[in-house]
């Protein structure tokens, strides 16, 4: 047996120790997946109730799912049944209740006072789910995603590389001390350097690697692609989808009587039902209805099935009602779908009738609240700022994530009923008033915080001159105020080029 006395061994040990010390304090890449997402706020016109359903972020599965329901002034008290149903397809065979079955159920009692009401359900897997909100007569099926912790390939490489480097380091140290062969320690040390290089490269790449297509937002979600979105990546794919056609269906419509309006959405390229709407501005669909006298409804139809939405409203007057739906499909892009037909209402019992023609700019009383409307430079082609001062104190609540909404329809001729004219109007717009927040939209508090206003302003460029109907909407004391007005927009200075 020959004892190695060469100075190579101490040098090797020193080298390995130096390398080891260089890794001390190295931190692995931070995960860019994890149980992400945020609370889902979604407005729902369920029967006679205008609700905001808040699906709280799920922290992990299996685990609790907190659902809050915000009621507004005039919401009838009653009882809602909530059900959580997994709906995602999967290639995995797991010992879980099958997709389509109710995993958890809860009840929620709505009081007569407007405000928050909550219930806690349970979810048992990541992937696409439906929250069913059932009032005993109608059921809204709200799609949402339960996220899964996701590790990107570069992160995995970083973890694997540094783990291997650590193991090889120990091996190299052991070999340097106890092995009789010099090459053993050298090979292990070389392997450690290579593994550390791999780990460092993974750590560096993890911050710049683009995210995979997002299930729910870009891809039709399944349990599998929510758990491993990187396996569902195809380069250079366009995610946006074709436009939508809407068909209205309803029973007998008499003024003064509630009517359930069905919206049947079909794909503009395949004709198939459209069942991939995203929640945008806190609703799946923003439905705007304008009556013959210019009365406005801004409602949020419930999803009752694939491509099938339903909303209840009580028309107050006879005649044609114009209908538009603002929505966003998976893959991105908000679109305004205008019904080519609207719906006609027959005369109702006495007591129903037309709304008065609204005033222009200036002061007026809306449901007991003093509202002052002003505008700068009402000329076509130039940005006009419309400002509404609602009440005298900063007590407005964010509604649909914004402190104010402005609906614009026009130009409208003087002679025709507003509903008919609105159906043919070239401009139909929905502008927002956004509160100033410290770090962007994520900071905007929810509906319970009454600290905005009293002034809300909107900047909109009227594309052409003429008479426009506008409606300012804001929430105060859990009541949505709608302020109608008539604006005359002058021709563009210098004329149209």
Q: Are strands 404-410 and 466-476 parallel, antiparallel or unpaired?
A: antiparallel
Min dist CB 248 to other proteins, Å, is: 22
String marking each residue 280-319 x if it binds other proteins according to CB under 8 A: --------------------------x-------------
Which pair of structure tokens corresponds to residue 260?
Answer: 């359930």
Distance CA 365, CA 363 (A): 7
Distance CA 416, CA 211 (A): 52
Place of tokens 């709200």: 142
Count Cβ atoms below 10 Å from residue 393 Cβ, excluding itself.
Answer: 11
Q: Where are the beta strands (DSSP E) in 235-361?
A: 244-250, 259-267, 285-290, 296-299, 302-305, 308-313, 319-328, 334-338, 343-345
String marking each residue 178-207 x if it binds other proteins according to CB under 8 A: ---x-x---x--xx----------------
String marking each residue 144-173 x if it binds other proteins according to CB under 8 A: ------------------------------
Q: Does 276 bind other proteins (CB under 8 A)?
A: yes
How many residues are there in the chain?
A: 497
Q: Does 275 bind other proteins (CB under 8 A)?
A: yes
Q: Does 270 bind other proteins (CB under 8 A)?
A: yes
Which pair of structure tokens corresponds to residue 158?
Answer: 């970083």
Determine which residue in the list 7, 25, 98, 440 makes contact with other proteins, applying CB under 8 A. 98
Determine which residue in the list 31, 239, 336, 378 makes contact with other proteins, applying CB under 8 A. 239
Please spell the DSSP secondary structure of 203-263, one letter per residue: HHHHTTSPPPPPBTTTB---HHHHH-GGGG--SS-------EEEEEEES--BTTS-EEEEE
Size of the site for other proteins (CB under 8 A): 42
Interface region with other proteins, contact rule CB under 8 A, candidates 57-65, 166-174, 224-232, 427-435: 224-232
Distance CA 51, CA 71 (A): 5
String marking each residue 432-471 x if it binds other proteins according to CB under 8 A: ----------------------------------------
Determine which residue in the list 30, 101, 385, 459 makes contact with other proteins, applying CB under 8 A. 101
Determine which residue in the list 47, 88, 315, 391 makes contact with other proteins, applying CB under 8 A. 88
Are 129 and 83 in contact, with CB atoms under 8 Å apart? no
Interface region with other proteins, contact rule CB under 8 A, candidates 25-33, 215-223, 380-388, 466-474: 215-223
Which pair of structure tokens corresponds to residue 343?
Answer: 């719906």
Min dist CB 227 to other proteins, Å, is: 14
First-to-last CA distance in the chain?
100
Please spell the DSSP secondary structure of 54-71, one letter per residue: EEPPP-SSSEEEEEEEEE
Preceding omega of 62 cis (within 30 degrees of 0): yes
Determine which residue in the list 112, 234, 436, 438 makes contact with other proteins, applying CB under 8 A. 234
Min dist CB 49 to other proteins, Å, is: 24
Angle of CA points 240, 242, 243, to nearest 5°: 120
Q: Does 497 bind other proteins (CB under 8 A)?
A: no
Q: Does 1 bind other proteins (CB under 8 A)?
A: no
Determine which residue in the list 53, 219, 277, 456 makes contact with other proteins, applying CB under 8 A. 219
String marking each residue 319-358 x if it binds other proteins according to CB under 8 A: -----------xx---------------------------
Which pair of structure tokens corresponds to residue 88?
Answer: 């995602």
Exposed / middle / buried, residue 128 (Cβ in 10 Å: 0-12, 13-18, 19+):
buried
Distance of CA 15 to the CA centre of its chain: 55
Determine which residue in the list 30, 59, 120, 240 makes contact with other proteins, applying CB under 8 A. 240
SS3 158: helix
Determine which residue in the list 91, 112, 436, 438 makes contact with other proteins, applying CB under 8 A. 91
Min dist CB 47 to other proteins, Å, is: 21
Q: Rule CB under 8 A: which residues touch other proteins?
A: 85, 88-93, 98-102, 181, 183, 187, 190-191, 219-222, 225, 231-232, 234, 237-242, 267-272, 275-276, 306, 330-331
């Amino acid at each position: 047996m020959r004892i190695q006395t060469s100075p190579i061994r101490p040098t090797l040990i020193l080298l390995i120790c130096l390398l080891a010390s260089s890794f001390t304090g190295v931190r692995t890449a931070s995960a860019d997946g994890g149980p992400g997402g945020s609370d889902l706020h979604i407005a729902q016109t369920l029967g006679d109730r205008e609700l905001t359903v808040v699906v709280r972020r799920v922290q992990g599965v299996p685990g609790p799912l907190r659902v809050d329901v915000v009621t507004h002034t005039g919401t009838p008290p009653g009882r809602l049944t909530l059900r959580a149903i997994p709906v995602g397809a999967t290639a995995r065979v797991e010992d879980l209740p099958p997709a389509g079955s109710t995993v958890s159920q809860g009840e929620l009692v709505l009081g007569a006072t407007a405000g928050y009401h909550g219930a806690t359900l349970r979810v048992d897997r990541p992937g696409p789910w439906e929250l069913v909100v059932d009032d005993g007569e109608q059921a809204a099926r709200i799609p949402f995603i339960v996220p899964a912790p996701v590790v990107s390939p570069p992160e995995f490489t970083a973890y694997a590389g540094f783990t291997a480097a650590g193991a090889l380091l120990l091996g190299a140290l052991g070999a340097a001390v106890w092995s009789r062969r010099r090459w053993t320690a050298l090979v292990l040390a070389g392997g450690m350097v290579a593994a550390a290089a791999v780990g460092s490269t993974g750590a560096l790449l993890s911050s710049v690697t683009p995210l995979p297509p997002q299930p729910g937002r870009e891809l039709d979600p399944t349990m599998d692609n929510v758990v491993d979105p990187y396996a569902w990546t195809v380069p250079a794919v366009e995610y946006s989808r074709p436009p939508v056609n809407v068909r209205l269906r309803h029973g007998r419509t008499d003024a003064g009587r509630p009517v359930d309006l069905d919206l049947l959405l079909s794909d503009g390229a395949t004709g198939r039902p459209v069942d991939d709407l995203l929640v945008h501005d806190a609703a799946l669909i923003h439905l705007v209805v304008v009556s013959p006298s210019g009365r406005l409804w801004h409602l949020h139809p419930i999803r009752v099935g694939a491509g099938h939405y339903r909303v209840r409203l009580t028309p107050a007057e006879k005649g044609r009602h114009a209908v538009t739906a603002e929505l966003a499909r998976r893959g991105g892009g908000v679109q305004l779908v205008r019904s080519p037909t609207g719906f006609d209402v027959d005369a109702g019992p006495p007591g129903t009738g037309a709304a008065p023609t609204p005033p222009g700019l200036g002061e007026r009383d809306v449901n007991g609240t003093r509202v002052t409307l002003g505008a700068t430079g009402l000329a076509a082609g130039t940005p006009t700022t419309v400002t509404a001062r609602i009440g005298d104190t900063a007590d407005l609540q964010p509604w649909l994530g914004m402190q104010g909404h402005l609906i614009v329809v026009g130009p409208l001729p003087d002679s025709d009923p507003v509903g008919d004219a609105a159906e043919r109007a070239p401009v139909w717009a929905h502008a927002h008033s956004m509160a100033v927040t410290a770090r962007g939209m994520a900071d905007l508090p929810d509906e319970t915080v009454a600290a905005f206003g009293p002034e809300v302003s909107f900047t909109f460029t009227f594309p052409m001159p003429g008479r426009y109907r506008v409606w300012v909407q804001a929430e105060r004391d859990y009541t949505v105020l709608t302020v109608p007005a008539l604006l005359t927009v002058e021709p563009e200075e210098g004329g149209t080029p």
